[in-house]
Chain A
Amino acid sequence: AQSVTQLDSHVSVSEGTPVLLRCNYSSSYSPSLFWYVQHPNKGLQRLLKYTSAATLVKGINGFEAEFKKSETSFHLTKPSAHMSDAAEYFCVVSRRGTDSGYSTLTFGKGTMLLVSP
């Protein structure tokens, strides 16, 4: 079974300070991992994805994530937060369906990022 644990339900930072959103995963084989962001009343947007090509993955809007197999972690970071980064962030693992072999997404519970001026 696959699972994703986002270690913080809320993270508060000041504008211009670093962002760290933590994610641990459980997977019985090498997973594909994603981070998605959801702004209020908007759909989900993919920030970045890991598919075993490189352990440090760069995404949009200055975000990046590092895959650490030994720690089963996939933490999301950004050097300097902007007000526009305030949103809910989801760590996602893609797993193969039991019948077809194709994937379904398993979402973490989400981390709400609050950015203060």
Chain B
Amino acid sequence: KAGVTQTPRYLIKTRGQQVTLSCSPISGHRSVSWYQQTPGQGLQFLFEYFSETQRNKGNFPGRFSGRQFSNSRSEMNVSTLELGDSALYLCASSDSGRATDTQYFGPGTRLTVL
């Protein structure tokens, strides 16, 4: 099976712009989660989607949003970019998002905000 894919791999934006990142989960996986990784804060949970519904959300401002399509592919959007949004954004998929499920991670999208 192909792994989790994320596009684009690298992105450079300026403050105030918006950005959309894409994630394709492993075939058959229905749960997709997003994480932000920064040197200062480490890995932080953004949100999780299952069957096109957001089930869980982390402690991030409303500028961060996402959605999931019927084929389980997911996108996340960040509006009005700030310098502090520079980070590696990781997507992970699992079968159903149960606590015992292993989440499989993509390689990430490196976002730089200038």
A contact set with B: CB distance below 8 Å:
31-32, 34, 36, 41-46, 49, 51, 90, 94-97, 99-100, 102-110
Contact = CB atoms under 8 A, between A and B. Distances in A.
A44 B56 contact: no
Interface in B74-114: 90, 92, 96-108
A105 to B, nearest CB: 6
Nearest to A95: B99
Given A43-B4, A44-B105, A103 B98 contact: yes
A44 B33 contact: no
Contact of B48 (A36, A41, A97, A109): A97
24 contacts: A31-B99, A32-B100, A41-B107, A42-B107, A43-B90, A43-B105, A43-B107, A44-B105, A45-B105, A46-B103, A46-B104, A94-B100, A95-B99, A99-B56, A102-B31, A102-B48, A102-B55, A105-B43, A106-B45, A107-B35, A107-B43, A107-B44, A108-B42, A110-B42
Interface of B: 4, 31, 33, 35, 42-45, 48, 50, 55-56, 58, 90, 92, 96-108
Given A102-B55, A105-B45, 18 more contacts: A31-B99, A32-B100, A43-B4, A43-B106, A44-B92, A44-B105, A45-B105, A46-B102, A49-B100, A90-B43, A94-B99, A100-B56, A102-B50, A102-B97, A102-B98, A102-B99, A104-B58, A107-B44
B100 A104 contact: no
A104 B35 CA distance: 10
Contacts of B98: 102-103
Contact of B108 (A43, A45, A51, A105): A43
